[in-house]
């Protein structure tokens, strides 16, 4: 056996699934929870990740750390979760009220009461970062499923637009409309719950 093959088989021999829960469980749970904002769904996704890891153990080549490999499996599970939830009935656009003027010479301008507020004063205080994260989770949970899926995959997971479109089953123009609406609704929610 060559030295390279011996090194690879030594890496494989060091994979210890019995230690995954203790060593990686918290990290994987936090990764999942930050993306799905549900304790139960995050736990299920981590459990599915461990099961997939066990099933695919023979395909683990040891070219990356176990945690990196398990995180990539979990990332796929999160994407699959959002793809499945995005097929649910979408909230009609009329449910979303635009913060822009739609009539007269001011069409496309902000409605004064709904214009962006000054975030600078709040964002400079590091003590309020935890508060912001909690409120962001609440605001994300209030988005329609498809909007939430698009926002998390595109913004948080930093997926390419074409890949998000494939996962969600939408056109690129629809993707940008959804993303725009999600950002507007998140901004308004954050301003109402965090800046007020």
pTM of this prediction? 0.53
Q: What integer pLDDT is reported at residue 46 of this predicted model?
A: 93
60 and 149 assigned to the same domain: no
The end-to-end CA distance of the chain, in Å, is 67
99 and 190 assigned to the same domain: yes
103 and 78 assigned to the same domain: no
Number of separate domains in the chain: 2
Residue 114 — very low, low, confident or very high, per pLDDT cuts 50/70/90? low
Whether residue 179 has pLDDT greater than 70? yes
Looking from the CA of 77 toward its CB, the CA atoms found within 13 Å total 26
Residue 110 — very low, low, confident or very high, per pLDDT cuts 50/70/90? low
The rounded distance, in Å, linking the Cα atoms of 187 and 135 is 11
Residue-range definition of the domain harbouring residue 180:
93-195
Residues in a beta bridge with 110: 100
Nearest alpha-carbon partner for 87 in 145, 42, 161, 153: 145
70 and 106 assigned to the same domain: no
Domain stops at, among 35, 56, 85: 85
118 and 176 assigned to the same domain: yes
Whether residue 122 has pLDDT greater than 60? no
Whether residue 13 has pLDDT greater than 50? no
Q: Report DSSP letters for 123-155, one per residue.
A: HT-GGGHHHHHHHHHHHHHHS-HHHHHHHIIII
153 and 134 assigned to the same domain: yes
Residues 6+ apart with CB under 8 A from 155: 179
97 and 81 assigned to the same domain: no
CATH at 112: 1.10.10.10
Q: What integer pLDDT is reported at residue 186 of this predicted model?
A: 87
Whether residue 94 has pLDDT greater than 50? no
Q: Pick the residue with more confidence: 13 or 124?
A: 124
Domain stops at, among 85, 112, 141: 85
Find how far residue 140's CA is from the centre of its chain.
Answer: 10
CATH at 24: 1.10.1740.10
């Amino acid at each position: 056996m060559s030295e390279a093959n011996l090194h690879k088989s030594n890496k494989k021999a060091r994979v210890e699934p019995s230690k995954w829960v203790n060593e990686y469980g918290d990290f994987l749970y936090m990764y999942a929870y930050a993306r799905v904002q549900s304790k139960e769904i995050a736990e299920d996704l981590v459990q599915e990740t461990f099961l997939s890891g066990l099933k695919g153990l023979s395909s683990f080549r040891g070219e990356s750390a176990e945690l990196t490999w398990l995180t990539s499996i979990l990332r796929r599970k999160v994407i699959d979760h959002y793809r499945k939830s995005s097929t649910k009935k979408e909230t009609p656009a009329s449910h979303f009220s635009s913060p822009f003027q739609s009539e007269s010479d001011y069409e496309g301008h902000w409605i004064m009461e709904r214009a962006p507020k000054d975030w600078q004063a709040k964002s400079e205080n590091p003590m309020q970062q935890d508060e912001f994260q909690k409120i962001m989770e609440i605001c994300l949970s209030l988005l329609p499923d498809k909007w939430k899926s698009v926002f998390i995959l595109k913004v948080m997971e930093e997926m390419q637009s074409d890949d998000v479109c494939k996962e969600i089953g939408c056109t690129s123009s629809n993707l940008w409309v959804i993303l725009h609406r999600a950002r507007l609704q998140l901004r308004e929610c954050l301003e109402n719950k965090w800046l007020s």
